[in-house]
Amino acid sequence: MSQPRTVILIGAGHVNLYVAAHAEALIERGARLVLVDPDQFWYSGLATGMLGGMYESAEDRVDPRALMEAHGGEFIQDWVETVDVGARRLRLAGGGDLAYDYLSVNVGSRVNVDALPGAAHDPTVWSVKPICNLWKLRAHLESRFRTGKSPRVAVVGGGPTGSEVAANLKALAKRHDIDMSVTLITRGDRLIKEAPAGAARGLHRNLRRRGVSIRTHTPIVRREGRSLIADDGSHIDADIVVLAMGLEANPLVRQTGLPTHSTNGLRINAKLHSIADQRVFAGGDCATMEGFDLPKLGVFGVRQAAFIHANLLASLEQIPLIEYEPQKRYLAILNLGDGTALSTWGPLWWNGRSSMWLKDFIDRRFVEGYRRQYDTKANQRR
């Protein structure tokens, strides 16, 4: 009997959750399937609503161990410290090595806090990644609200995440009857630059109406005391800073020695494996697809997932791999924290409660779909 081939999933992101949920197909083909991740999966779609008080932390999480084991695979709760692609081995932070035949890397992105001088070791500076930071930030703010304090908060980054964070910080303060100062800062000339101009103007009006101060054309160069310093020397007072800019792939990707993009994303081809190693697949924020400049949005990782699963199967069977083509249009919905959401689809956009209903439905279905799988298995074993 031939030795089982080992497929290791590094990171419990959108791609690898899907592969874990469809583990049986790989195992039936003689694979040993192992998922390595240090924590639970926190879903980005519900994250800003969690910050704003719409959802609790338990509603935003999926247990990767329960999911993996429900489908016959193995789970190791640990960090991957190094990957030796030459020897096809990886070392765990907790000690020990694992050999692999195929890898699926799905370790996401981080905010490069070091890029802002004075921010890295400042406890008043928070980043939007990892997502659990938003839950910790909410708890921190609520503890201050209970003592009657109203900190001045600045959000750096005028993209979708920064805009949602600013909106939901206002929502959280309103839930506690606190008038909290929130400033949204971007180096660009408008918010959400990849969205239609009308959508950006509507978002700008919504935030201003709710008391968010918006600073455009304002590159931030350092954190100093309780201020942010702009490139023109002006000071923006901020007791708390939330960084929602400068996303780059997890440093583990560069450590592999495989070709990476300027933002550290593993360079992959249309078959979603490294351009230099067909045994290493990657998707989501930690990968950069040749010929495309995809925004770091979960919709791409979700769609890549089925292709990576299919290509892992094809690799085991030694048959041709299939190619993924990124969707040209995608639905993006921003939770504005006031019961409405802003939806965009290519050049189209609309704002209202129906958008929020749709976002809530899609996001809850995503999380509960995975939970149902391992809850059902657990009930069957009883």
Provide the CATH number for the domain around residue 127: 3.50.50.60
| Distance from C-alpha of 359 to C-alpha of 342, rounded to nearest angstrom | 10
Structure tokens at 118: 């004075």
Compute the distance between CA of residue 262 and CA of residue 288 in angstroms, rounded to an integer. 9
Give the model's pLDDT for residue 75. Answer: 97
Q: Within this chain, do residues 170 and 192 fall inside the same structural domain, yes or no?
A: yes
Residue 98: both structure tokens together: 């694992």
pLDDT at 372: 93
Q: Does residue 243 have a pLDDT over 90?
A: yes
Residue ending a domain, choose from 243, 276, 297: 243
**Cα 321 from Cα 5, distance rounded (Å):** 18
pLDDT beyond 70 at 382: no
Question: CA torsion angle for 292, 298, 300, 304 (degrees, to 10)?
Answer: 130
3 state DSSP class of 249: strand
Of 193, 209, 243, the one marking the end of a domain is: 243
62 and 138 together in one domain: no
Average pLDDT over residues 104-115: 93
| CA–CA distance, 247 with 230 (Å, rounded to integer) | 20
Residue range 150-206, pLDDT digits in tens: 999 999 999 999 999 999 999 999 999 999 999 999 999 999 999 999 999 999 999
234 lies in the same domain as 261: no
Pair 60, 98 in one domain = yes
Strand partners, 332: 344
Backbone angles phi, psi at 155, to 5 degrees: -110, 125
Query: Which domain does 216 fall in, by range?
Result: 113-243
Cβ burial of 14 (10 Å; 0-12, 13-18, 19+) is buried
Residue 178 and residue 91 share a domain:
no
Do 375 and 251 share a structural domain?
A: yes
Report phi then psi at 192, rounded to 5: 30, 70
What is the domain-level CATH number for residue 291?
3.50.50.100
Question: pLDDT by residue (tens digit) across 192-216?
Answer: 999 999 999 999 999 999 999 999 9
Per the CB < 8 A criterion, the answer to whether 66 and 378 are in contact is: yes
Q: Which residues pair with 35 in a beta bridge?
A: 9, 75
Residues 44 and 117 in one domain: no
d(CA 65, CA 13): 13
| CA 189/CA 144 separation, integer angstroms | 33
Q: In this structure, are residues 338 and 167 in contact, taking their beta carbons and an 8 Å threshold?
A: yes
The residue to which tokens 């497929």 are assigned? 7
Rounded Cα distance between 207 and 321, Å, is: 46
How far apart (Å, rounded) are the C-alpha atoms in residues 191 and 158? Answer: 5
Instruction: Report helix, strand or coil for 290.
Output: coil
> Are 211 and 290 part of one and the same domain?
no
The Cα 17–Cα 9 span in angstroms is 9
22-49 average pLDDT score: 96
- Domain end marker among 223, 243, 263: 243
- Same domain for 140 and 102, yes or no, is no
- Check residue 380 and give its pLDDT: 63
Number of domains in the chain: 2
Q: How many residues does the chain have?
A: 382
Whether residues 118 and 105 share a domain: the answer is no
Contact between residue 291 and residue 115 where contact means Cβ atoms under 8 Å apart? no
Q: Are residues 292 and 373 in the same domain?
A: yes
Q: Mean pLDDT for the chain?
A: 94
What pLDDT, on a 0 to 100 scale, did the predictor assign at position 300? 86
What are the b/e assignments for 211-220, b being 16+ CB within 10 Å?
ebebbeebeb
pLDDT at 1: 41
* 48: number of Cβ within 10 Å: 29
CA distance 209 to 39: 38
Q: Is the pLDDT of residue 263 over 80?
A: no
Segment 359-373 shows an average pLDDT of: 96
Average pLDDT over residues 330-337: 96
Same domain, 65 and 101: yes
SS3 103: strand
